[in-house]
Structures are given as structure tokens and as C-alpha cells.
């Protein structure tokens, strides 16, 4: 996809990865709307990028997730690209996680991206790209992160099925499944402490791969833990 002039919504722009992707897409000429939960950080990034329009959302509110996509598409006069870069972690033994935490994880990490993705596909006129950060946990469900892994595996499965449905329409579905990256996400977990994790990539490396992948029409970006290298198609 040509990035110059691409009508783009970045959801989760207040996060470390989302902010990096937004900055990089803008450098390549994309027209942005930024969506996020933390109003102060969202406004600061919007100012940094030259008074880019913003939309606030809480991902637990699924109706609002769909409405944010409509607001962005209305503002931009259509939608070519949705980047989903929000999410939350939780750690601890699988049997100890309570229903409230599990519901929170599945809503924010699985259902909210699905709500945005469904509306985005409806608003794309025959072509476009849905680029969603799930996680390596979809490929390697990990002890100590059972519910977090389940939320990402569910999202990744949905993206795979949607990709098959959308292929003929010309909508590209890009599932991004990074390894651990030091963004501070683990320290903002809903509960529990992350086990020691080896960083598989840096923020800048991931941002570059995501933006290149969007431009090149890639469908998957994953990480081989044995070979410690990126894979995808």
C-alpha cells in the first residue's frame, strides 16, 4: 500500500509501540487520526505531530471502539488503514486468575480489536489494511501468562479467519506477533509480576518492520524463538 496520503487510524497511540508506529507513518506521509485512553498523553502526541485529530476511547466499552472508527473515517473522508496497538498484560498462575481479570483481558485484547476491525473493514471501500499487534503468545502460549496468552491467541485466530474472508475484497489483514520488547508493558500489568524475559527486539526494530510490512502488503510478522529471527509472509 502507498503510505503517502493513506487515511489512517492508530488506536493505542499513547502506548510505546503505537506512538512509534504513528510517528513513523506520519513521516511517510500518512494522514492520521490518533485514538487513545490517556487524554494528556494523547494530546501531547497530537501536538508533537502537528495538531493531528484525536479520539478518546476506553477499550472495555466495545460500542465506543466501533464509534471511534466511524469518527476517524468521517474525519478523513474514508479509511485505508487501521493500526491496533493497544493491549494489556496480566501474570500469575493460570488457576489463580479471577473472572474479572480474565474478562478484562479478553475484552481489551480480543473483543475490542475485533470491534474496531469489524467496523474498519466495513468502512474501507474495497481495499485497505488492518494491522493488528497480537503477540508471540498466540504461537507460544506461555506458563505464567495463561489468560494473557489466550486473549492473544483468540485475536490471532480471528485475524486469520478474517484474512481469508477479506482477500477477494482487497483488504489485507496483517497479524503482528512480536516477542518481548522493553516498553514497560509488563510493569503496567493488571496483576502479577512478569517472569524474567529476554528481549527479542527493540521498539525501533519492530516499528520499522511494521511500517515496512504495511507498505509491502504483508500478512504476518512472527518471531522464531529458537533461531531468534523474524519470520512472516
Ligand X SMILES: NC(=O)c1ccc[n+]([C@@H]2O[C@H](COP(=O)([O-])OP(=O)(O)OC[C@H]3O[C@@H](n4cnc5c(N)ncnc54)[C@H](OP(=O)(O)O)[C@@H]3O)[C@@H](O)[C@H]2O)c1
Query: How far is Cα 66 from Cα 114, in angstroms, rounded to an integer?
Result: 9
Rule CB under 6 A: choose which of 2, 58, 205, 224 binds ligand X.
Answer: 58
Residue 135 in the binding site for ligand X (CB under 6 A): yes
CB 213, min distance to ligand X, A: 15
What sign does the dihedral 165-171-172-176 (CA atoms) show?
negative
Residue 16 in the binding site for ligand X (CB under 6 A): yes
Residue 52 main-chain phi, psi, to 5 deg = -70, 140
Beta bridge partners of 92: 145
Residue 185 in the binding site for ligand X (CB under 6 A): yes
Residue 36 in the binding site for ligand X (CB under 6 A): yes
CB 196, min distance to ligand X, A: 13
CB 127, min distance to ligand X, A: 25
Cβ atoms within 10 A of the Cβ of 100, count? 10
CB distance 21 to 47 below 8 Å: no
The number of C-alpha atoms within 13 Å of 140 and in the hemisphere containing its C-beta is 12
> Binding segment for ligand X among 9-17, 26-34, 69-77, 219-227 (CB under 6 A)?
9-17
In sequence order, what are the residues at sequence separation of 6 or more whose Cβ sits closer than 8 angstroms to the Cβ of residue 167? Answer: none
Rule CB under 6 A: choose which of 3, 25, 52, 59 binds ligand X.
Answer: 59
CB distance 15 to 88 below 8 Å: no
Residue 38 in the binding site for ligand X (CB under 6 A): yes
Rule CB under 6 A: choose which of 133, 150, 162, 221 binds ligand X.
Answer: 133
Beta bridge partners of 129: 81, 172
DSSP notation for 30-53: -EEEEEES-HHHHHHHHHHTTS--
Beta bridge partners of 163: none
Considering the complex, state which of residue 2 and residue 205 has its C-beta at the smaller distance from ligand X. 205
Rule CB under 6 A: choose which of 1, 49, 60, 194 binds ligand X.
Answer: 60
Matching residue, cell 518492520: 209
Rule CB under 6 A: choose which of 10, 180, 192, 209 binds ligand X.
Answer: 180
Considering the complex, state which of residue 3 and residue 136 has its C-beta at the smaller distance from ligand X. 136
Residue 117 in the binding site for ligand X (CB under 6 A): no
Query: How far is Cα 62 from Cα 233, in angstroms, rounded to an integer?
Result: 31
Considering the complex, state which of residue 44 and residue 161 has its C-beta at the smaller distance from ligand X. 44
Residue 159 in the binding site for ligand X (CB under 6 A): no
Binding site for ligand X (CB under 6 A): 12, 14-18, 36-38, 41, 57-60, 85-88, 108, 133, 135, 178, 180-181, 183, 185, 188
Amino acid at each position: 500500500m502507498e503510505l503517502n496520503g493513506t487515511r489512517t487510524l492508530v488506536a493505542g497511540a499513547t502506548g510505546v509501540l503505537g506512538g512509534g508506529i504513528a510517528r513513523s507513518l506520519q513521516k511517510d506521509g500518512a494522514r492520521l487520526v490518533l485514538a487513545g485512553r490517556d487524554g494528556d498523553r494523547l494530546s501531547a502526541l497530537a501536538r508533537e505531530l502537528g495538531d493531528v485529530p484525536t479520539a478518546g476511547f476506553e477499550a472495555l466499552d466495545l460500542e465506543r471502539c466501533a464509534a471511534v472508527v466511524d469518527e476517524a473515517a468521517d474525519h478523513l473522508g474514508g479509511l485505508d488503514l487501521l493500526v491496533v496497538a493497544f493491549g494489556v498484560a496480566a501474570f500469575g498462575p493460570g488457576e489463580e486468575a479471577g473472572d474479572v481479570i480474565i474478562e478484562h483481558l479478553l475484552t481489551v485484547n480480543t473483543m475490542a480489536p475485533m470491534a474496531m476491525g469489524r467496523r474498519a473493514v466495513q468502512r474501507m471501500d474495497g481495499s485497505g489494511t488492518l494491522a493488528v499487534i497480537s503477540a508471540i503468545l498466540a504461537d507460544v502460549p506461555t506458563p505464567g501468562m495463561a489468560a494473557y496468552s489466550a486473549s492473544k491467541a483468540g485475536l490471532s485466530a480471528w485475524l486469520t479467519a478474517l484474512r481469508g474472508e477479506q482477500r477477494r475484497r482487497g483488504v489485507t489483514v496483517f497479524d503482528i506477533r512480536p516477542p518481548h520488547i522493553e516498553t514497560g508493558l509488563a510493569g503496567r500489568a493488571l496483576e502479577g509480576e512478569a517472569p524474567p524475559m529476554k528481549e527479542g527486539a527493540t521498539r525501533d526494530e519492530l516499528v520499522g518492520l511494521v511500517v515496512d510490512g504495511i507498505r509491502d502488503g504483508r500478512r504476518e510478522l512472527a518471531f522464531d524463538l529458537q533461531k531468534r529471527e523474524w519470520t512472516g509472509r
